[in-house]
Structures are given as structure tokens and as C-alpha cells.
Amino acid sequence: MADFVGIDLGTTLSGLAYLRPDGQPEIVPNGDGERLTPSVVYFDQHEEITLVGSAARDGGDPERTVYQIKRHMDDPDHYVEVDGRRWTPAEISALILSKLKRDCSRLIGDITEAVITVPANFNELARKSTIAAAEMAEIKVSRLVNEPTAAAVYYAHTQDVNGRILVFDLGGGTLDVTILEVQNEEIQILTSEGARHLGGSNIDEMLLELYADQYRQQVNADLFNDERQRRRALQAAEDAKKMLSKLQRYTDTIGNDINGIARIELHREAFEKAVSKLLTRSIMLVEQALNGVSLKPTDINHVVLVGGSTRIPKVKTALEKFFGKQPKSCSNVDEAVALGAAVFAQRASHVREVCNQSYGTLAMLVNASTGEEAVRNSIVIAKNTPIPCSKTQVYMTSEANERFIEVDITQGEDDDPRFVDVIGKITLEVPPDRPAGCEVAVTYSYDENQRVRALVVDKQSGRSQEVAVSYRGAGILSEEELLKRGRALRQLRIE
């Protein structure tokens, strides 16, 4: 049995690595002989079998195939319906994890516990869903670790570097930027910023538009009319992206049975122009990360590239221009996260992470100079606070004779309540006949898995209530359902 296992549960590809007895991490291939498994699930119509991986991606009916479920892990209302059965994002992810566990166990022994990576900007719900997925797959999550942190751990492990490192992780679905400080064995994360829907698959979609435009010009018809045709064209666009990352020009033929075939010619210049907005967004995220910890580009000693899309030359040149130094690739940009997770499983005590989001409560605040009252998001735990941590803020009741104190738990650093999520609520009953101005202490605790708990204490009466955040929605399973579905999932034939 492997003691230290790391899993990269990716948007487009997933991988499992373990730490060999000599302390070096190694990727464990799946049952199909592949080092990375496409994060795609196919539900067959005729046989009681669920396909995960390349077979699901390449051969299945798109209507019965689930792609990129990770993008929906933070959506409480998302579910996939197949043959009248509803699958939550956590369940689909559990199928992918089950495939990895079953296949890899054959090579390295039983896998019962693992570090699982998540994007730095994954919110509370998405983290909770990831843990639920692992539980259904019978994997105990020893820690959730942010993907760029795992990649940085791997980079530090293999390159023996010291100083401030910025990890630019352009994955299949998201971009994460993390700044950290490495001093010998010790790693201190300073900040992480993430951008949703900014990854390789967004670049593929841009290229698909170029394909569709050229096809329309030549054939005077649409390149695809259904999901199956669109998926094929998207795969061609992905291949084109890889080729244009190496060549200046790429030609391809593409078409469909109804409208015929067209010859597509793409130049790197046009490709770079098509993705320029995504690159601008990427650089703005880098600026945001630097601003968040009051650093300048020149304060960064190493810029490290992670994720398949960092192979695009324009990504490298844009970062080189911004930082004034050449970024370095994490030797294997596709596998670095899984490998780093395996290293992290052993060296977690040497890595100090920070809170990725601010947590607070909605409070009526009074402007001392103008007297104006306004409802604001009052932060209790600020983003970038080292974790685990616990912070308390004391508030006062505004009215006399209040019987219930209600505290909203917010996620997000914006002052404006409109731009934060209310992720929980605590209602505390207090004794009658009290004046205004009674003190209420709100304490938030933040654990190493970036999960939050809240405690509200009425100081006068001593009454208190503590909750972990829970969510409701069509895409959320209750604890009872989770156990039941986990049992059912383990009976499935997954190939």
C-alpha cells in the first residue's frame, strides 16, 4: 500500500501519483496504460457499464457523455440527467476518482487516503463537493491542496530553489496564480488568485470559432449541426492549438457528412490574436495577485509555468515581457500537480497555506465622519491570513428587545454585499427585554482544507451556536443521500 498518494482531479485530465520509497514522486498509469485519464464519463445505453477516460471521450454519444464536470462543482443547482437518473457533480467526480483508485491500486496496492488538488479559487461549496466525491469513491481526503501549491511543491522539490516564486497554472478550465516564498524546506504561500472559465478549453473554443468561420466561408454552411459534430470539431481545434504552439502554420481538413469537407489553414498570428483577450485577463490576474501582497514584478525571483496551455508561445512571451525575465516550465507541465500532491502528502507540515477567500458577516456599519449608516460586508477572516486560523469580531445589537440574533456568513472580500456570497446563516435566540448595544462575538475558524466553521456567542447570556457551512440545491446531496449513493456507486462497473 502506498503511504503518500496525490490526485489531480482536473477539468480535462486527471492523474494519480505516489511517493516511491526513495522519496521521488511517480505517476501511476491507469488500466488503459495512460499516465493521465481524461476527466470524461460515458453512460452506456445498452450495457450496465460506465466508461471513464479516453474511451468515454472518444467513442461515446455526446448526449450520454459528461465533460468538464469540475466546472460545475461550485454550482449548487447543477446536475446531469441520464436515463431519468440525476447525477450531481460530486457523483460524476466520484466516478472519475473510482476509476483512478481501482486502476492504480492494481499497481501500487490499496489506496485508502490521498491528497486531492483543487483550483485555488475553488469556493467553499466546490471544496465540500470534492471531499464528498472522494468519500463516495472510498478515498479519505487527508488534505485538499491548491493546484498551484502542489505544482510549486514539486518545482521546489526538483529544482532546489529559494526565494519568491510565482506559479502561473493555466489548466484545462481555470487559471490559478500563486505567489509563495521558499526557504530551504519551508514553503510559505503568500497569496492565490484564480480565474474561472479561463483555461485551455476556452482557448479551444476560440479556435473552434476560427474553424467554423473558415468552413462557412468555403462551404457556405455550418461546420456542425449537432453536439456530436461539434465535439469532433472541438477535438480538431484542440489538436490545432497544440500544433500552433510548435509551428507557425497549420493546415487541416474538416467537415461533416451533409455539407462536405473544407481545408482549414491557420496561422499562429491569427491564433494569438483570437486568444489575446484571454491573455489580457491572465495578466490582469497576475497583477491582482501581486497587488494583493504589495509586490512588484521585480520582487519575483522565479516565474514557473504549469498546465498544458502554458506551452503556447504567446503565454511565455507575455509573461516574459511583464516580469522582465524568462518563465521556467515545471519540467512536466501536465503532471506537475499530481506529482506535487504526492510530495505534499509527505511534506504538508512544511507548507504554510493562506486563506483564499475572505469570510465575514453582513453588518450595519456607521460612517464615523458622516454618520451615514450602511449595510456592508464586515470581514472577520481576511484573505491571505495564514491557516489554520481562528478570528473573532465583536458586534453590537442595534435594537432593544431583540429575541433573535441572525448572523449571515459571507464569502468574498468586497465591501458591497451585492458582490459576496451568503453561504450560511446562524440564528441565536437570546433572552427578552434587553437593551440595544448587547455584544455578540462572531468567531470563524478556517481549517487546512479551506473549510470554514462559525461560532456566535451572545456575551450577556453566554448562549452560543456553532455551525459548519452547508448548502442546499438540486446539485447537493444530503449526508444520508451521500452514503446511499456512495454505496450504489461502488456497485457500478467502471471501465
Partner 1 sequence: MFDNVFKSLKAIKDSFTADAIRRAEKRATAAAADDALPAGDGVFKPQRISRLIDIVQPATLAGPTPEEICGIAPKMPKQEIRQRLALLYRRYNRAASSLDPKLRHEAERMLDAIVTVRENVFGPI
Residue ranges in contact with partner 1 by CB under 8 A: 74-77, 121, 123, 125, 193-197, 276-277, 279-285, 287-288, 291, 318, 321, 362, 364, 373-376, 398-399, 402, 406-408, 412-419, 421-423, 425
CB of 440 to partner 1, least distance (A): 12
CB of 278 to partner 1, least distance (A): 9
Q: What is the largest CA-CA distance in the chain?
A: 81
User: What is the Cα–Cα distance from 396 to 400, expressed in whole angstroms?
Assistant: 11
CB of 195 to partner 1, least distance (A): 6
Please tell me the total number of residues recorded for the chain in this structure.
495
Q: Which cell goes with 454?
A: 462559525
Nearer to partner 1, 113 or 415 (CB): 415
Asked if residue 6 lies in contact with residue 341, where contact means CB atoms within 8 angstroms, the answer is: yes
Nearer to partner 1, 205 or 402 (CB): 402
Nearer to partner 1, 416 or 466 (CB): 416
Nearer to partner 1, 138 or 413 (CB): 413
Nearer to partner 1, 1 or 375 (CB): 375
DSSP codes, 57-85: HHHS-GGGEEE-GGGGTT-TT--EEETTE
Nearer to partner 1, 40 or 285 (CB): 285
CB of 137 to partner 1, least distance (A): 25
Asked if residue 420 lies in contact with residue 412, where contact means CB atoms within 8 angstroms, the answer is: yes
CB of 39 to partner 1, least distance (A): 19
Nearer to partner 1, 63 or 77 (CB): 77
Angle at 89 between CA 140 and CA 419, to 5 degrees: 105
CB of 173 to partner 1, least distance (A): 12
Residue in this structure with the C-alpha cell 511583464, named with its chain if needed:
322
Nearer to partner 1, 101 or 376 (CB): 376
User: What is the Cα–Cα distance from 244 to 266, expressed in whole angstroms?
Assistant: 8
CB of 356 to partner 1, least distance (A): 11
Q: What does each C-alpha distance from 413 to 125, 357, 358, 359, 418 come to in angstroms?
A: 17, 7, 5, 7, 11
CB of 380 to partner 1, least distance (A): 15
Q: Which amino acid makes up residue 6? A: G
In sequence order, what are the residues at sequence separation of 6 or more whose Cβ sits closer than 8 angstroms to the Cβ of residue 300?
Answer: 164, 165, 166, 179, 290, 323
Closest to 453 (Cα-Cα) out of 463, 443, 462: 443
CB of 260 to partner 1, least distance (A): 34
Nearer to partner 1, 338 or 405 (CB): 405
CB of 152 to partner 1, least distance (A): 21
Asked if residue 237 lies in contact with residue 288, where contact means CB atoms within 8 angstroms, the answer is: no
Angle at 206 between CA 168 and CA 323, to 5 degrees: 25
Nearer to partner 1, 2 or 315 (CB): 315
Q: What does each C-alpha distance from 405 to 378, 398, 429 come to in angstroms?
A: 16, 10, 6
Cis peptide before 38 (omega within 30 of 0): no
In sequence order, what are the residues at sequence separation of 6 or more whose Cβ sits closer than 8 angstroms to the Cβ of residue 198?
Answer: 170, 174, 175, 278, 281, 282, 285
